[in-house]
C-alpha cells in the first residue's frame, strides 16, 4: 500500500482515539479499517465494569466495515495515546486472522510507521 494511504489510515485511527472510553485502564486505543470499497471505518476501545465485555478498537473498526458490506479489509491501523507502538492483543490477532486475513496492519511509533501481516503476528494460528 502507498505510504500516503498508510499515513491517512494512521491519522484516522488517531481521530478515533478521542471517542474512546477507557474508564478503567485509562489506555486509549484508536483504529481504522480500510474496506475493499476504499471507505475507511474508525473504531476505539470501550470499557465496561464487566471487564470481559470491553471492546477493542480494531475489532470495532473491522466489524463496522464488514457489517456495512465490505468484502475484505485491505488494511488496519492501530494507535494508542502513548508514543509506543500499539500492536493488537492476542484476542484481536485471532479476530484479524479470521475476519481480515489479507489486511496490512499498521502502527506508528518512535521509528515511524511499521507494517505487519497477521501471519507474522500470529504464526501457526488456530483454525478448526
Ligand atoms: N485494547 C485495544 O483496544 N486493542 C488492543 O489490541 C489492545 C488492547 C484496549 C482494551 C482495553 O480497553 C485497553 O486497551 C487496555 O488493555
Q: Which residues of 65-85 are buried (b: 16+ CB within 10 A; e: fewer)?
A: bbeeebeebbbbbbbbeeeeb
| Ligand 1 atom nearest to 57, measured from its CA | 3
Identify the burial level of 49 via C-beta atoms within 10 angstroms of its C-beta, where 0-12 means exposed, 13-18 middle and 19 or more buried. exposed
Kindly tell me if the per-residue pLDDT of 2 is higher than 80: no
Would you state the pLDDT for residue 117? 98
Q: Note the pLDDT tens digit of each residue in 48-102.
A: 999 889 999 999 999 999 999 999 999 999 999 999 999 999 999 999 999 999 9
- What spacing in Å lies between the alpha carbon of 22 and ligand 1's midpoint? 9
Q: Which domains does the chain have, with CATH numbers?
A: 2-121 (3.40.140.10)
Q: What angle do CA 79, 54, 29 make, to 5 degrees?
A: 10
The preferred substitution site among 17, 25, 26, 27 for testing ligand 1, maximizing ligand atoms within 8 Å of CB, is: 27
- What spacing in Å lies between the alpha carbon of 124 and ligand 1's midpoint? 23
pTM for the model = 0.96
Q: What percent of the chain shows pLDDT beyond 70?
A: 100
Identify the burial level of 11 via C-beta atoms within 10 angstroms of its C-beta, where 0-12 means exposed, 13-18 middle and 19 or more buried. middle
Amino acid at each position: 500500500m502507498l505510504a500516503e494511504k498508510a499515513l491517512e489510515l494512521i491519522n484516522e485511527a488517531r481521530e478515533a482515539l478521542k471517542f474512546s472510553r477507557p474508564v478503567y485502564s485509562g489506555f486509549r486505543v484508536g483504529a481504522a479499517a480500510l474496506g475493499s470499497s476504499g471507505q475507511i471505518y474508525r473504531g476505539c476501545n470501550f470499557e465496561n465494569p464487566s471487564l470481559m465485555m470491553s471492546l477493542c478498537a480494531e475489532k470495532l473498526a473491522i466489524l463496522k466495515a464488514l457489517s456495512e458490506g465490505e468484502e475484505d479489509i485491505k488494511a488496519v491501523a492501530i494507535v494508542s495515546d502513548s508514543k509506543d507502538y500499539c500492536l493488537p492483543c492476542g484476542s484481536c490477532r485471532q479476530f484479524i486472522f479470521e475476519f481480515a486475513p489479507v489486511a496490512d496492519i499498521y502502527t506508528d511509533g518512535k521509528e515511524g510507521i511499521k507494517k505487519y501481516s497477521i501471519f507474522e503476528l500470529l504464526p501457526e494460528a488456530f483454525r478448526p
